Amino acid sequence: MIKDMQKEILRLKEQKDICILAHCYQGHEILEVADFVGDSYVLAKKAAEVKNKIVIMCGVRFMAETVKILSPDKTVILSNAEAGCPMAEQVKLEELKKFKEENANCAVVAYINTTAELKTLCDVCVTSASALKIVKAMPEKDILFIPDVNLGTYIKNNVEGKNIKLIDGGCPYHKTATAEDVARAKAAHPEALLLAHPECCSCVTEKADYIGSTTGIMDFAKKSDKKEFIIGTENSIVEHLQFDCPDKKFYPLTKNLVCHDMKLTTLGDVLDCCKGEGGEEIVLKEKTRLAAKACIDKMIAYGG
């Protein structure tokens, strides 16, 4: 049955000139029908490059918005209209306007996990994969980083010569991982390396053998000579790595690291989108799109 649905998706993709982009946190059966799978930096770059008329984004809303911002002539569909990243809306537009008025010397750096509307007020966007490189490359010394306090702290600790202000936002799931989780997982799996996403707090990243984006974590585990890994990011990565590396072992850092928004999209949703019956077409005002595009363009220019 799943195979039949996948076959039909592949047929419709071909017939209607559809490209499917999938974030690494999507289910295995969705990754199997995707044209490109990756972290948010990989997907943003692909968004600018793909030639198809229709793009279906299997991920969350800010990712689909990024595709529309970079490819306005394409029809961009978010695979499940309910799938949003709670972090993307943590800063209010009015709050950010006020901050900018009071701190005219500060550049505003936004994690890509923000709404298109918020991006219109930001100078540069970053992703977890590109943040250090971009902030190092920026000429501005005074920076407000929104909204993830953990990624912001990671940047602060690894970039010299900047004055970085943070706010208290962040991923509600990555934030749940604690020092106790690290101690418990390491005690249970003493040979395993800890691979962590910078959305985790420093009590986790300080103990990590590798810190990186979702694609970074997967690449590290695949290339490593080691055989066991504790995964400090969304637990779908544990499952995907097990498919890719059957000779290695992967353990979740904590059972709480499950993103309910990323889990919303089903293969049925993807099939409906291919039929033109489901998901939500992303529509942005041209003024918003152009203003938001400036900080994504800068991200790609600095990030390479």
Q: Which residues bind ligand 13P (CB under 6 A)?
A: 39-41, 85, 113, 127-129, 171, 199, 213-214
Helix, strand, coil percentages in the chain from 3-state DSSP, rounded to 5: 45, 20, 35
| Residue whose CB is less far from ligand 13P, 89 or 274 | 89
What DSSP designation does 200 have? S
What residues numbered 226-245 form the site for ligand SF4, per CB under 6 A?
234
Q: Does 109 bind ligand SF4 (CB under 6 A)?
A: no
Q: Does 57 bind ligand SF4 (CB under 6 A)?
A: no
Minimum distance from residue 283 beta carbon to ligand SF4 (Å): 21
Question: How crowded is residue 191: how many other Cβ atoms within 10 Å of its Cβ?
Answer: 10
- Cα dihedral 163, 113, 27, 255 sign: positive
| Residue whose CB is less far from ligand 13P, 129 or 177 | 129
Q: Which does 261 bind (CB under 5 to 8 A by kind): ligand 13P, ligand SF4, none?
A: ligand SF4
Minimum distance from residue 45 beta carbon to ligand 13P (Å): 12
CA 68 to centroid of chain Cα atoms: 16
Q: Which does 213 bind (CB under 5 to 8 A by kind): ligand SF4, ligand 13P, none?
A: ligand 13P
If DSSP codes are grouped into helix, strand and coil, which group holds residue 72? Answer: coil
| Residue whose CB is less far from ligand 13P, 86 or 276 | 86
Q: For residue 251, what are the contacts with CB-CB under 8 A and spacing of at least 6? A: 185, 188, 189, 192, 228, 229, 230, 231, 238
Q: Which of 86, 58, 50 is nearest to 268 (CA)?
A: 58
**Which among 134-142, 168-176, 237-245, 263-271 is the span making contact with ligand SF4, rule CB under 6 A?**
168-176
Taking the C-alpha atoms of residue 122 and residue 194, their distance in angstroms, rounded to an integer, is: 33
Q: Does 215 bind ligand SF4 (CB under 6 A)?
A: no
Q: Which does 40 bind (CB under 5 to 8 A by kind): ligand SF4, ligand 13P, none?
A: ligand 13P
| Residue whose CB is less far from ligand 13P, 25 or 278 | 25
- Cα dihedral 297, 298, 303, 304 sign: positive
Q: Which does 127 bind (CB under 5 to 8 A by kind): ligand SF4, ligand 13P, none?
A: ligand 13P
Helix (H), strand (E) at residue 110: strand 107-111
| Residue whose CB is less far from ligand SF4, 87 or 196 | 87
Q: Does 64 bind ligand SF4 (CB under 6 A)?
A: no
Q: Can you tell me which of 42, 60, 69, 221 binds ligand SF4, judged by CB under 6 A?
A: 60
What phi and psi values does residue 126 have, to the nearest 5 degrees?
Answer: -135, 160
Q: Which does 86 bind (CB under 5 to 8 A by kind): ligand SF4, ligand 13P, none?
A: ligand SF4
Q: Which does 71 bind (CB under 5 to 8 A by kind): ligand 13P, ligand SF4, none?
A: none
Helix (H), strand (E) at residue 262: none
Angle at alpha carbon of residue 218, lines to 56 and 271, rounded to 5°: 20
